[in-house]
Structure 1
Amino acid sequence: MSALAHEPAVILIIDNDPIMLTGIAAVLNMSGYECHCARNAQAARKAIKSLALDLIVCDVDLGPENGLELCRELRQLPGIEDVPMMFISAAQAPDIVRRSHDAGGSYYLRKPFDPEVLIELVSKALWMPHLVQSRVAAMPEPIAEPAPATPVVPRSNLRHALSGIRMPMA
């Protein structure tokens, strides 16, 4: 809800490397996002209980724990079902991208990465159609105003205006 309410999007970053964790948080914070950091699965679970998240950025390798498994677990928690997840890793495993998508990840970014690419992927993940749809549905009803006499988008341009929107089938 925060992204549409003109508040910064709330992002949880999970990485066991304190330098990487701080770097990611700094880049995203300077881009206007509200960042919270967790160095392990336990800290991530605790943070999720108290935050209304818009995105989770998680390292695949959290030391003794697996970030993919952690995110599968988190996905089962109430309020996290539609939160996009993005994975980062230095892993060179040939199937890591497929496994990250199987774990519910929207994007995968290999370390080291360009901060501008991180910002671009975060922005894309925050505006995924299902997320926008759930955020719009959660917005309070506006005060009733009379309907305009003419549509905002001329009918001839409506199909073109909506052609880029893809909604997942329920």
Structure 2
Amino acid sequence: MAHVLVADDDADIRNLVTFKLNQSGHRVTAVEDGLAALRAAREQPVDLVLLDIRMPGMSGLDVCRNLRAEPETATLPVIMITARSQEGDIEAGFAAGADDYITKPFSPRELSSRVTALLNRAAT
């Protein structure tokens, strides 16, 4: 199916998301910080990116802005997965260019459904 890039500094979340997406048939590249996420997205084609907001080195918001600024990744679907749930945080995620925003804790099934929905929209 799709190749999904997961960036989260929490190993438990990264492993859970990777497991669920693999279970759904996706290929996953998982990294632990924003700089690694940006590097991975530039070096290998991915179909969708899941970003935590608070990560060492570079925030998910900054990664998203960088992806949107580069022609090769400008239309790449991006979902923010974060514990930041205030209205201003959600607005900041969408302002940075995110296509969807999921707050922690989240349902792995819901995450998988949102990934599938966004991939389907991007394919049309």
Q: Fold match, TM over 0.5?
A: yes
Count of residue correspondences: 124
**Structure 2 Cα separation of the partners of residues 99 and 43 of structure 1:** 22
Q: List structure 1 runs of 4+ shifted beyond 4 angstroms.
A: none
How high is the sequence identity, in percent, across the aligned residues? 27
Alignment of 1:96-135 (within 5 A): 96-128=89-121, 131-133=122-124
Alignment-mate amino acid for residue 123 of structure 2? V
Question: 2:74 aligns to what SS in structure 1?
Answer: coil
Give per-residue Cα distances to partners, 1:42-97, cap 9 Å, x unaligned. 21122123211110000011145321112101222242111110001111323122
Flag structure 2 segments of 5+ consecutive residues without an equivalent: none
**Structure 2 Cα separation of the partners of residues 52 and 65 of structure 1:** 21
Residue 69 (structure 2) aligned to one of 68, 76, 92: 76
**Structure 2 Cα separation of the partners of residues 57 and 41 of structure 1:** 11
Larger radius of gyration: 1
Residue 95 (structure 1) aligned to one of 76, 88, 104: 88
Alignment-mate amino acid for residue 37 of structure 1? A
Does 1 or 2 have the higher relative contact order (CA < 8 Å, sep 6+)? 2
More helix by share: 2
Taking structure 1 as the reference length, the TM-score comes to 0.68
Residue 54 (structure 1) aligned to one of 28, 47, 56: 47
Give per-residue Cα distances to partners, 1:105-147, cap 9 Å, x unaligned. 111111111111001100111012xx224xxxxxxxxxxxxxx
Alignment RMSD (CA, Å): 1.4
- Give the equivalent residue in structure 1 for 2:15: 22
**Structure 2 Cα separation of the partners of residues 64 and 86 of structure 1:** 19
**Structure 2 Cα separation of the partners of residues 64 and 45 of structure 1:** 11
